[in-house]
Amino acid sequence: MTGSSAGAARTPRSALAELLAGNRRFVSGQPVHGHDVTAAAAVASGDQQPYAVLLGCIDSRVPLEAIFDQTFGSICVIRTGAHVLDRAVCGSIEYVVGQLGVPLVMVLGHERCGAVASAVDTLRTGDRPGGSLAYLVDQIAPAVAEVGADDPRAHPMAVRRHVLRTVAALGADDLLAGPVADGRVDVVGALYDLATGEVTLLDR
């Protein structure tokens, strides 16, 4: 993102428009930034002025900077299994919004998410995984329960429901609720299509 577009993307609406425009470039095969990950590109980015923070999954098929056609310094990225929240994630988002003035938080889910599949399997079989994977499953399980674990479409529906639950949790965060309420910050949910590369916003 150039300096001029960074300056233009300081409201939630303009930040979202910039992100979605980048995704359209990615889908069309005409990215501006592509995969320019050279040291020279990093140096040229100067001081960071991110306009959005993206919370996504660790899935290797969903590289957030690439699918939104973003360059060094333009977005902050946080990735956990199925974009599960914890205190470190929330604190990081609070920092980016409060200290860097970022106006947009996007939670991005994706189809065929393995962590969501684990949660669906756990609720169907009662066989809870061990280790810290259990924590991920426990955080996703309410979304699975809401859509019904035995529903044949439980997995895709739970992916969407989990995104919306994460959006709601961030919107109610102690340090984000005020900026969200007065319109300085927006928290949105979206879904990435692995087959087409397209990002679709989800209705709350």
Write out the chain's pLDDT in tens, 204 residues: 444 344 456 899 999 999 999 999 999 988 887 766 566 666 666 677 899 999 999 999 999 999 999 988 899 999 999 999 999 999 999 999 999 999 999 999 999 999 999 999 999 999 999 999 999 999 999 999 999 999 999 999 999 999 999 999 999 999 999 999 999 999 999 999 999 999 999 997
Which is nearest to 90 in space by CA: 170, 17, 12?
170
CA distance 33 to 65: 9
* Greatest C-alpha distance within the chain: 53
Which is nearest to 160 in space by CA: 197, 111, 124?
111
Identify the residue whose tokens are 């939104």: 68
